[in-house]
Amino acid sequence: MKHSEIWKAIDKLAEIKGVSPSSLAKKAGLDPTAFNKSKRFSSEGRKRWPSMESINKLLRSAEMSIFEFASYAEEGQYTGPAHTIPLIGFAQAGNDGYFDDAGYPAGSEGWDGIDFPDVKDPNAYALEVSGSSMEPAYRDGDRLLISPESSIRRGDRVVVRTSEGEVMVKELRRETAMQIELKSLNPEHPDRTIPKEKVMWIARVLWVSQ
């Protein structure tokens, strides 16, 4: 979901509820300025994103599903009806047999399924987080929607699988012809720099659902 799309969805929800973005944030138990337009870009013009914790609080407060919220993004990827995509646990993702060489889901054995808003990537799948290694960004039980076909830019959250079978979710800090530099989502865990030849595949994290 793009920066403009998620803020558009928040504005549309406020309009439907007949309140301002400030009131919407306050009703969700957030700082009243959390959804203000002044919070959407830094003074240097860099994009600011609402945290997933804020979005989850907003959805609970509004008593709406992620599907409804996503449909408010007029130009978003989540514009169709919900459909089932493959789902596996994060620990399984490091095992052989679940993905092909391009990082696409392989076969159906061992995969579960989860309903998610329709996405443009027919190879999208979900990973279920286990443990606390990705807190506070992602918590145990969160389900990450992964898109192998989406383009990846600096600052995106990505899932990476190495030739040793290690699977990790990090923020892409920098990519060169020789290596990728990854920022840890949990400050207690180190950042990583991985040589390109050891990267089996890398895919973008599009969404998270609790």
CA distance readout (Å), 186 to 5, 54, 61, 151, 161 = 26, 18, 27, 24, 18
Phi, psi of 147 (to 5 degrees): -120, 105
pLDDT band for position 49 (cuts 50, 70, 90):
confident
- With a cut of 50, say whether residue 126 has pLDDT above it: yes
- For residue range 73-108, list pLDDT tens digits in order: 654 444 455 678 899 888 888 888 888 888 888 877
Q: Looking at residue 76, what is its pLDDT?
A: 41
Q: Which residues pair with 208 in a beta bridge?
A: 144
Amino acid (one-letter) located at 7: W
CATH number for the segment(s) 80-209: 2.10.109.10
Predicted TM-score (pTM) of the model is 0.63
Contact 70, 117 (CB under 8 A): yes
Q: Where are the domains of the chain?
A: 3-71, 80-209
Contact 203, 103 (CB under 8 A): yes
- For residue range 36-45, list pLDDT tens digits in order: 888 889 888 8
- For residue range 159-199, list pLDDT tens digits in order: 999 998 899 999 999 999 999 999 999 989 999 999 999 99
The CATH architecture to which 3-71 belongs is Orthogonal Bundle (1.10)
Mean pLDDT of 52-69: 81
